[in-house]
């Protein structure tokens, strides 16, 4: 249904995430760090990004800020994933430009709901640009 980029350094979380996405009919693209994820976002142009906040090297907040500054990737919705369910984290993820926030451990209903909401919000713009000009 949608092409979704997962940027996550923990192999178990990555596996779970990709399994949940493919079960929902989505195509999962995987990147293990922010640098690889940014490159993939620019080249594969996914419909949505699932961004782990705690990554080695550049963290997910910095990577999201870069995505949102780049016109090529700015419109991609980003869902922040974090192990720490702290209010401070949610605020920081909003400041960085994340469109939604999910605390780990991942619950599939919550993940699917967040993805569906953001993809639905994106649709009108895509549909309009697809309309033939009168």
| 10 or 117: CB nearest Mn ion | 10
| Minimal distance, residue 122 CB to Mn ion, in Å | 26
Tell me whether residue 59 is exposed, middle or buried, using C-beta atoms within 10 angstroms of its C-beta: 0 to 12, 13 to 18, 19 or more: middle
Among 54, 58, 106, 122, which residue sits at the site for Mn ion (rule: CB under 5 A)?
54
Q: Tell me the C-alpha to C-alpha distance, in Å, between residue 111 and each of 16, 60, 71, 104.
A: 11, 18, 26, 10
14-22, 25-33, 51-59, 99-107 -> range binding Mn ion (CB under 5 A)? 51-59
| Minimal distance, residue 16 CB to Mn ion, in Å | 13
C-beta of residue 130 within 8 angstroms of C-beta of residue 110: no
Binding mask 1-20 for Mn ion (x = CB under 5 A): --------x-----------
Q: What are phi and psi of 94, to 5 degrees?
A: -65, -45
| 52 or 89: CB nearest Mn ion | 52
C-beta of residue 53 within 8 angstroms of C-beta of residue 59: yes
89 binds Mn ion, rule: CB under 5 A: no
> Which residues are near Mn ion by CB under 5 A?
9, 52, 54
């Amino acid at each position: 249904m949608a092409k979704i980029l997962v940027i996550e350094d923990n192999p178990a979380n990555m596996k779970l995430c990709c399994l949940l996405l493919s079960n929902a009919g989505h195509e999962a693209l995987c990147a293990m760090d922010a640098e690889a994820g940014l490159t993939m976002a620019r080249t594969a142009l996914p419909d949505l990004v699932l961004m782990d906040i705690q990554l080695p090297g550049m963290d997910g907040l910095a990577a999201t800020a870069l995505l949102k500054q780049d016109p090529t990737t700015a419109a991609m919705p980003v869902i922040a994933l974090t192990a720490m369910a702290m209010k401070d984290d949610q605020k920081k993820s909003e400041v960085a430009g994340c469109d939604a926030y999910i605390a780990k451990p991942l619950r599939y209903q919550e993940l699917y709901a967040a993805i569906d909401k953001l993809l639905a919000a994106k649709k009108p713009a895509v549909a309009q640009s697809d309309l033939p000009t009168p």
